[in-house]
Structure formats: C-alpha cells, structure tokens
C-alpha cells in the first residue's frame, strides 16, 4: 500500500499573452520584452500536488526548465506551499522540442527523485502540445492519467476522474504514476498572505533561498547534451506563415442605421432565411 510521501509538480514560465508588451505586430513573440507568468494550466497541476500534501503530509517539489528568470514562478510555487524547487537552466537546451524537453526533465527527475506522484499541467500556453507530461511518463516507464479533473487516494491507489469526449471516466492508477490536470479541476486556491510574506522574507535571505531553490545544469543531472536543444530535437518549426485572408471578400456594412444594415445582410445572406424557423 502506497501513501504518497514525495510529490513532484512540473511548472513552466510562459509569455503573458494578455500583455501587449513583447508581442510583435506580426504576432511573433519577442521573449526578451514579453511579460512572463506561470503557465495558467500549471496552477491546476500545482493545486493537485498541494492537495496531496494536505491529504498525506507529502513533501512537494517543483521542477522547471527555463532561463534564469523562471525562478520567479518557483518563488510563486513556494508561496503556495511547495517545499523545494529545482531550476534546470542551460544554454544547450535552447530550441528543445517536446521530445528533448521531456528527456531533460526526466533526467532532472531521476536526479531528484524518486517520486510517488508527478503532477503536470495539461498543456502550456506557448508550447500548447499537452505532450511533455505523457512523454516524461514514457521515459520513466510510469502509468499516467491525463485530463484528470478530480481525484482521491484510496487503498494505496490514485483514483482519478478523467475527462473524455461526451462524459468522463473514473480510473484507478497504481503509484508511482504521472498525472496531467485539466483546467476543469475545480479546487483552485490562491496564495495566502502568509505564504507571500514568507517568500518576501526569503528573498532577503539568499542563503535560505538557495537551500530551497536548487539550480542545476545538464552536467549535474547527467543529461547528454546531444539529446537536448536543437540537435536533440526531432522536430523544427520550418516556417511560419501569416494567415491569409480567407475569401477576402467580406461585405462590410458600416455607417448606416442598424435596421438598414441588418436588412442588407438579410437580403445578401440567404442562409439566414433558409435556416430560420418557419
């Protein structure tokens, strides 16, 4: 019978799309200028891990891979109640795709672990693939529950409610295992004032902070640089295209009275009358 004692959560810092800063006019991102934030989906993963902590008193570790500013989201995780953080930061990771990312992250997990449960967000808002979690599970030979929207611990098993098309299912997973949490997981809590204050105190105490946030590189976690970054990535973005204007033939009505514009569209768009109830 397993009671999870060591829980891991994988979190990522992403550009904040709602802030216009750093979004070029052509829609590309200038990451140096872009505002950054915790991947919104990872709040749900984080909450899942902290819920296990509440249930079993487990120790929660957060891992992120990213450039040095990613430490910001680790501080946020600490303020939420995470116990320990690891930042994997290495220039050789540049341009990693999900395969290379999951390789590097699985190496950090092997270096830090073992863990009874690993929580991930469903997906990131920049990578937006929902692949990194299951790929880590494959590399570590773990069972997985993806799209988890609720769970309980029972008889040493992880019982999860999982989203499916047209409904949901309940599954029972042996631990250790990996979970990706859907954004329909409804138990989100926000950082307490005490948590935030604790982190503010920590930020003034470099030694204490170092004990809580460990920064590692590929050598420390014994990852092969050839499997990482551009070289280790089996996929590349070959090009990006501005999305063309479909048809490009919108009949635009403006500047007239509303009844006139509506009448004109009623006349031109035959579908309106065709599908209207008789």
Partner 1 sequence: MTDTPQPSAPNAETPSAPVTPPAAEPLPTIVTPSNKEVVIIAEHFKGTLQPVTYELLGIGRDLADKLGGKLSCFLLGFNIKEQAQSLIAAGADEVYLADHPELELYRTLPYKRVITEFIKGWELPPHIVLLGSSTTGRDLAPRVAACLGTGLTADCTELDIGPYEHTNKADPDKLGIYPGCLYAIRPSFGESLKARILGPWNNPQMATARPGTFIPLKPDANRTGVVTDIPINLQGEDFRLSVLEIVHEISKGVDLADAEVIVSGGYGLGSADGFKLMEELAACFKNSGVGASRKVVDVGWIPYQNQIGQTGKTVRPKLYIACGISGAIQHRVGMDKSTTIIAINKDASAPIFKFAHHGIVGDVYQVVPELIAQLKAAQGSCPTVKEPALV
Ligand X SMILES: Cc1cc2nc3c(=O)[nH]c(=O)nc-3n(C[C@H](O)[C@H](O)[C@H](O)COP(=O)(O)OP(=O)(O)OC[C@H]3O[C@@H](n4cnc5c(N)ncnc54)[C@H](O)[C@@H]3O)c2cc1C
Where in 246-275 is the site for ligand X (CB under 6 A)? none
The residue to which tokens 């009949």 are assigned: 251
Among 64, 106, 112, 146, binds ligand AMP (CB under 6 A): 64
11 binds, among ligand AMP, partner 1, ligand X, none (CB under 5 to 8 A by kind): ligand AMP
Using CB under 6 A as the binding rule, whether residue 11 contacts ligand AMP is answered as: yes
Q: Does 184 bind ligand AMP (CB under 6 A)?
A: no
Give the Cα separation of 25 and 73 in Å (integer): 27
Q: How far is CA 92 from CA 78, 105, 187, in A?
A: 27, 14, 37
User: In this structure, what token pair is assigned to residue 259?
Assistant: 């009844």
> Which span sits near ligand AMP by CB under 6 A: 21-29, 119-127, 201-209, 210-218?
119-127
Check residue 125 for interaction with ligand X (CB under 6 A): yes
| Residue 42 touching ligand AMP (CB under 6 A) | yes
The DSSP letter of residue 116 is S
Q: State the angle between helix axes of 98-112 and 132-139 in degrees (0 to 180), rounded to the nearest 10.
A: 50
- Quote the CA–CA distance of 175 and 118 in Å, as a whole number: 10
Count CB neighbours of 60 within 10 A: 23
Q: Binding to ligand AMP by residue 60, rule CB under 6 A?
A: no
Residue nearest to ligand AMP (CB): 121
Binds ligand AMP by CB under 6 A, chosen from 61, 98, 106, 112: 98
The CB-of-128 to ligand X minimum distance in angstroms stands at 4
Could you write out the DSSP letters of every residue in 45-79? HHHHHHHHHHHH--EEEEEEESSGGGHHHHHHHHH
CB of 212 to partner 1, least distance (A): 21
Please give the size of the binding site for ligand X, defined by CB under 6 A: 3
93 binds ligand AMP per the rule CB under 6 A = no
Tokens of 218: 């590929």
Between β-strands 144-154 and 177-181, what pairing exists: parallel, antiparallel or unpaired?
parallel
Does 205 interact with ligand X (rule: CB under 6 A)? no
**Stretch 121-140 residues interacting with ligand AMP (CB under 6 A):** 121, 123-124, 127-133
Residues that bind ligand X (CB under 6 A): 17, 125, 128
């Amino acid at each position: 019978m397993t009671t999870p004692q060591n829980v891991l959560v994988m979190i990522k810092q992403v550009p904040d799309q709602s802030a216009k800063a750093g979004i070029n006019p052509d829609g590309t991102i200038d990451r140096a200028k872009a505002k950054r934030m915790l991947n919104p989906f990872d709040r749900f993963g984080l909450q899942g891990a902290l819920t296990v902590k509440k249930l079993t008193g487990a120790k929660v570790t957060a891992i992120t891979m990213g450039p040095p500013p990613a430490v910001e989201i680790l501080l946020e995780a600490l303020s939420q109640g995470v116990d320990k953080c690891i930042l994997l930061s290495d220039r050789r990771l540049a341009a990693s795709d999900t395969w290379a990312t999951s390789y590097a992250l699985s190496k950090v997990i092997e270096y830090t672990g073992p863990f009874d449960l690993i929580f991930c967000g469903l997906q990131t808002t920049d990578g937006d693939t929902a692949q990194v979690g299951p790929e880590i599970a494959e590399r570590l030979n773990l069972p997985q529950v993806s799209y988890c929207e609720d769970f309980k611990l029972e008889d040493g098993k992880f019982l999860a409610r999982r989203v499916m098309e047209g409904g949901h299912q309940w599954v029972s997973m042996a631990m250790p295992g990996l979970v990706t949490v859907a954004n329909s997981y409804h138990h989100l809590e926000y950082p307490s004032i005490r948590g935030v204050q604790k982190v503010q105190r920590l930020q003034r105490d470099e030694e204490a902070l170092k004990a809580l946030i460990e920064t590692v590189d590929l050598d420390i976690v014994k990852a092969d640089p050839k499997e990482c970054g551009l070289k280790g990535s089996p996929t590349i973005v070959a090009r990006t295209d501005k999305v063309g204007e479909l048809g490009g033939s919108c009949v635009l009505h403006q500047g007239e009275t509303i009844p006139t514009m509506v009448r004109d569209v009623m006349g031109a768009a035959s579908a309106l009358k065709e599908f209207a109830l008789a």
